[in-house]
Structures are given as structure tokens and as C-alpha cells.
Amino acid sequence: MRTGRASPALVERLLVEYYGSNVPLQQIAGISVPEAKVLLITPYDRGALSAIEKAIQTSDIGINPSNDGQIIRLVFPTLNEERRKELVKVVRAKAEDAKVAIRNLRRASRHELEIAQKDSKITTDDLERAEKDLDKVTSEHIAELDKMLATKEKELLEV
């Protein structure tokens, strides 16, 4: 999550209904950042302008596009304290989702180890050693995630 400037990554994967099919925005338009808070979208086909504008309005970006007939401008406002706190909540939710994914991987790996032990591919001692290593790696990744979360929260709340 970037907050310092407008980034093409915010919209390039946005699906636009273009002649009856959903197409990523980056395939039908050029996206540039002329200023830190402005994103310019230049469609390759001017007929797609209204479809792109509609896709942006219905997305969860939260920015109203301005259309001058040739290009679409997205102007990102500076963040106020309320929006910063809202973004911190979003970052925390994403971090929690990542922790759940890490724990699910650990669970799946443990399951595979137990199957290998039942099939006599590894010994009980190997299973215990592998589980300890797995727990260690999981803890390291969660600690790294917590560190990244703290850094991002600090960055978001800094004025």
C-alpha cells in the first residue's frame, strides 16, 4: 500500500467492460504519473473512455475521475488524519490475512509431514525435528510481517 504518491498499480489491473468482455485497464490504456498526486489514463481507443470512467467509479479506489474527452485524470487528495487511520485499519486487516495464510501453510505442511511419517517415509524423530523447524520458520515470517506492519503504520500516521 503506497500513500506518498499516485501509482499506476492502483488501476492497471482494474477490469473494464470493453466491447462485451472484461479487459484489464493496462491493455486498453496508457497510465502515467505526471505529478505526485495525479494519475493520467490515456485510452488507446477513445471509444473506451466512458467504459474506463465507469469502471473507475464502480471500483473501490474512492476517487472520482475527471474526463476531458481524450484522457481521464485521477487527482488524489492529501491524506487527512481520518483517512490515515482508515488506511492503518486496512493495512492491519491485510497483515492479519497474511498471518492466516502463513498459518494455513504451516498446517498443510504439518499434514504432509504426518502423512509421510504414517507412510514410513520419515521417522518420528524426523517428524518432530521438521515440526520444530516449521514452527521456527513460521514464527520468523510472522515476526517479519509484524515488523513490516509496524513500519507501514508509522509511515501512514506520519504527517
Rg from Cα positions in the chain: 23
CB atoms within 10 A of CB 134: 16
% pLDDT > 90, the chain: 53
What is the domain partition of the chain in residue ranges? 8-75, 81-157
Q: Which pLDDT does position 111 carry in this prediction?
A: 95
pLDDT in tens, 79-134: 788 878 888 898 999 999 999 999 999 999 999 999 999 998 999 999 999 999 99
- Report CA-CA distances (Å) from 108 to 4, 19, 136: 38, 43, 16
pLDDT at 3 over 80: no
pLDDT at 5 over 90: no
Terminal C-alpha separation, the chain? 16
pLDDT in tens, 128-155: 999 999 999 999 999 999 999 999 888 8
Q: Write down the pTM of the prediction.
A: 0.61
Domain covering 8-75 in this structure, CATH number: 3.30.1360.40
Q: Which pLDDT does position 63 carry in this prediction?
A: 82
Question: Which grid cell sits at 127?
Answer: 517428524
Closest by CA to 81, choosing from 150, 157, 2, 22, is 157
DSSP run (H or E) holding 142: helix 124-157
CB atoms within 10 A of CB 40: 17
Q: Which pLDDT does position 2 carry in this prediction?
A: 57
Q: Which pLDDT does position 4 carry in this prediction?
A: 59
N residues, the chain = 159
**Apex 123 CA angle, 117 and 127, nearest 5:** 65
| Fold topology of 81-157 | Topoisomerase I; Chain A, domain 4 (1.10.132)
pLDDT in tens, 35-83: 888 999 999 988 889 899 999 888 877 788 998 889 999 988 777 888 7
